[in-house]
Amino acid sequence: MSFPYKNPTSVDSLGGPQSVAREQNFGTNFSVLQTGGYMEVYNLSDLIFTIPSSNGEVLLSANTIPVRYTKGTGTLFSPNNITLNSDNISSGRRRLGMLVYVHETDKVYQYVIPNYDTLWAGLTGLTGLSAITPTDHTTVINNRSPQGQSFINAWIDSSIEGVSGVTRENARWRIFWGTDWQVTGGTIDYNSTGDLSLNSNSGNTVTISGLKTITGGTFFSGTSTLELYNNLGDTISVTGFTGGSGGTSGSSGSSGTSGSSGSSGTSGSSGSSGTSGSSGSSGTSGSSGSSGTSGSSGSSGTSGSSGSSGTSGSSGSSGTSGSSGSSGTSGSSGSSGTSGNSFTGGTVTYDSNGRLVLESENSLDNINVDGFKTITGGTYLSATTTLELYNNLSDTIQITGFTTGGGDISVSANTGLGIIDPNTLYTIYNSNLSADLEMNEDVGGLDAGTRVEDLTGKTLVQLFNDILFPTALPTYTKPTITLQGLSSQTLEVGTTKSIVISGYGDKNDAGDFTSIRVRTGTTAPNVDVVIDNSPTESSIANIPDQFGFTNPNNPNARFTSTQLSYTLTIPEPSLGEMASTVMYDAEGDCNAGLPKLDNKGNTDTRTAGVTENTPQQARTNLNSDDVTITGVYPYWYGTSSTQPTISTIQDAISGGTANKSSITNDQDGTLTITFNANEEYCWFAHFEEYEQKRSFFVTDINKEDFCSTCLFNTFVTGSIDSPDGYWSGVNYKIYITNLKTTTTSFGAMQLKTNTV
């Protein structure tokens, strides 16, 4: 069913709007006395709902924004409950979505229960004592069911974002930043993780890692291999360098193309002083160069005063993207404008700006972040054995120390960085076979079905690693929860048992336990009697490391709840039942664990789950084994020199002279009794709900059914009282022998439910 929202009503209603005279200097009410809306308080503590130790409806002046909550005794007939207003989204002074300004932090907080519809849906199917109680103006929810307790927990939770380690996702009071999350700026740090930090109007910073730039390199002449290093510690190998012939007339000679007078020499047309050199007319500093009059930084260039980034340009202070432009800070779409901006994603374009474009969610202007780098080409200068690499921002990276022979080496864009000529064979796998061709069977660590395209681009070293050293994935130890202090047992009805129990959870490869609950019930453990949302943490043995890598989920920990301590009187069985039961268990919630590394040091990418072969996902309502206290009536037996009657047997049992059975004997099946009769009458009695006994058996030649003329007569029902005062007036089936008998010669006699 859909959520039953309706505009709120109450028992008392106004006949008309309330107001004060215009000249008066007071208002109609204080904001903190209303239900929901917008309020102002002084301290964060004013957001907290405090529950006293005493029972009854919580009425504390210390609760500035309370809910309407009643604390019971914890029994089935005195549960905890919460009363909602008729709109079903408010209680007391709290209402979903309300805003509260806190002077202490100078922030506004919003009250939220994100999974409210799900929690409500869990209540709709409840019946009996656990069901919700609606009236015209209120709805009452009790904690007799797990669904009711979860719903109440959500309302009385006063967790605040940023307080005591509470995150935004787990907080009932969340900092309110408005409806739009906006990027206000960002910086790129080419550190060991390649971080891009984006700042938002909420004061948060989002970091995107993995941006790469070349930081250096080494040329190994023995193998003609160039190794390039980036800021993330990756190594890119470029092979296939060859030495030139050398000599004065050769390509590297003084008159050669790379010689001092050659076309590429220092004085040649392409040299540093030549027409196209860095100082030439077309060079970077020339009139047409990047810094020249018409260059990108010149007065008419893209960054010049009239350029696209200039004062009057599209990105200038007066341009469309400028601080006063339509998309600027103060513009209609700016962060301070009328519509604000939020973003759905972005793309990086490695142009001359190295631009990251953040795409607008609101169809407003995008935000550009410049400064991303990538290698676009390079030149090897044999005269100085230096390799110069150029990037899209016109930066130059110099790598020195080459010892190979002559000849200029030109490195075109992205050579060795993943763009391979498919018609040329390298030490990188680039087979001419069909990309869809699959392996027929497993080969080492490569599985059958692996396609050519799956391997293309890998180096031979990577292929041999995959083949010779198959990937072994880590295993995980699941979290466990245990009820301690009690074991299953059978006791006589009416006796007492001291109950001192608690629950504990071992996190193992999962995350911390956030809640431990102890539950009880007569048909199943379904009523929370202990709810500990801050269980006590202690150390236990760590989960062993695997493959030589540290387990990220250590140190291990145990989380223990507060104790349940009371005296249980073993209840009577329900009508028609042979025994009563009182059941207990522990239940808990824990966070997700972290993925481990495989044998090659790679992070496990399998989806989190609940098996030993997946990273451990978060758990809710993780259960321990049940512990059951079973209540039964004992059976009784005896002998007499004269034939007993129902009355004399009743007196013998209530007077304490009859023999009492072991309480754990299976009375619904065969009873095994040693009467020790010596020419005496025998009798026995068991609770009426157990299966009728129809025969006795000693041996194949000493057995007989029950009948009016047989050794044992059929049963007669009589009311029995406990000799210890545990119970009274309980109906028993009583069996009496018609004849005297001697059983001392054979010992035990079996009283069976079937005929013989």
| Residue-by-residue DSSP string for 53-105 | SS-EE---TT-SS---EEE--SBTTB--EEEEETTSSEETTEETT-EEEETTT
What is the chain's mean pLDDT, rounded? 81
SS3 688: coil
CB 520 within 8 A of CB 584: yes
Q: Which residue has the higher pLDDT, 382 or 174?
A: 174
Strands 557-560 and 496-506: antiparallel
pLDDT in tens, 459-471: 888 888 888 889 9
| CA dist., res. 265 & res. 248, Å (int) | 13
Location of structure tokens 């700016």: 334
Average pLDDT over residues 521-545: 96
| CA dist., res. 565 & res. 514, Å (int) | 22
Strand order in the sheet with 749-752: 671-673, 749-752, 695-699, 702-705
Question: How many CA atoms does the CB half-sphere of 271 hold within 13 Å?
Answer: 16
- The set of residues, in sequence order, having a beta carbon less than 8 Å from that of 169 and lying 6+ positions away, is none
| CA dist., res. 180 & res. 343, Å (int) | 9
Location of structure tokens 């004399």: 648
Strand order in the sheet with 386-391: 396-400, 386-391, 375-381, 409-411
pLDDT in tens, 38-58: 999 999 999 999 999 888 999
- The set of residues, in sequence order, having a beta carbon less than 8 Å from that of 415 and lying 6+ positions away, is 238
CA dihedral 50, 51, 56, 61 (to 10 degrees): -20
Note the pTM of the prediction, 2 decimals.
Answer: 0.46
Residue 585 one-letter amino acid: D
| CA dist., res. 588 & res. 363, Å (int) | 46
| CA dist., res. 684 & res. 348, Å (int) | 90
CB 562 within 8 A of CB 530: yes
CB 691 within 8 A of CB 704: no
pLDDT, residue 201, reads 63
Confidence of residue 607 (pLDDT cuts 50, 70, 90): very high
Q: Which among 696, 676, 658 is positioned nearest to 742, based on CA atoms? A: 676
- The set of residues, in sequence order, having a beta carbon less than 8 Å from that of 172 and lying 6+ positions away, is 111, 112, 113, 154, 157, 158, 159, 160
| CA dist., res. 697 & res. 559, Å (int) | 55
| CA dist., res. 724 & res. 492, Å (int) | 11
| CA dist., res. 77 & res. 74, Å (int) | 8
pLDDT, residue 296, reads 38
Q: Which residue has the higher pLDDT, 91 or 306?
A: 91
Q: Which residue has the higher pLDDT, 368 or 533?
A: 533
pLDDT, residue 402, reads 62
Encode burial over 622-644: b for 16+ CB neighbours within 10 A, e otherwise.
bebebbbbbbbbbbbbbbbeeeb
Confidence of residue 257 (pLDDT cuts 50, 70, 90): very low
Say if residue 270's pLDDT is above 50.
no
Structural tokens at position 619: 């758990």
pLDDT in tens, 415-466: 333 333 444 444 678 788 999 999 999 898 888 999 999 998 888 888 888 8
pLDDT in tens, 467-516: 888 999 999 999 999 999 999 999 999 999 999 999 999 999 999 999 99
| CA dist., res. 41 & res. 30, Å (int) | 11
pLDDT, residue 444, reads 84
SS3 391: strand
Residue 615 φ/ψ, nearest 5 degrees: -55, 145
Say if residue 272's pLDDT is above 70.
no
Q: Is 189 exposed, middle or buried (0-12, 13-18, 19+ CB in 10 A)?
A: middle
Q: Which residue has the higher pLDDT, 745 or 226?
A: 745
Say if residue 59's pLDDT is above 90.
yes
For the chain, how far is it from start to end, CA to CA, in angstroms?
59
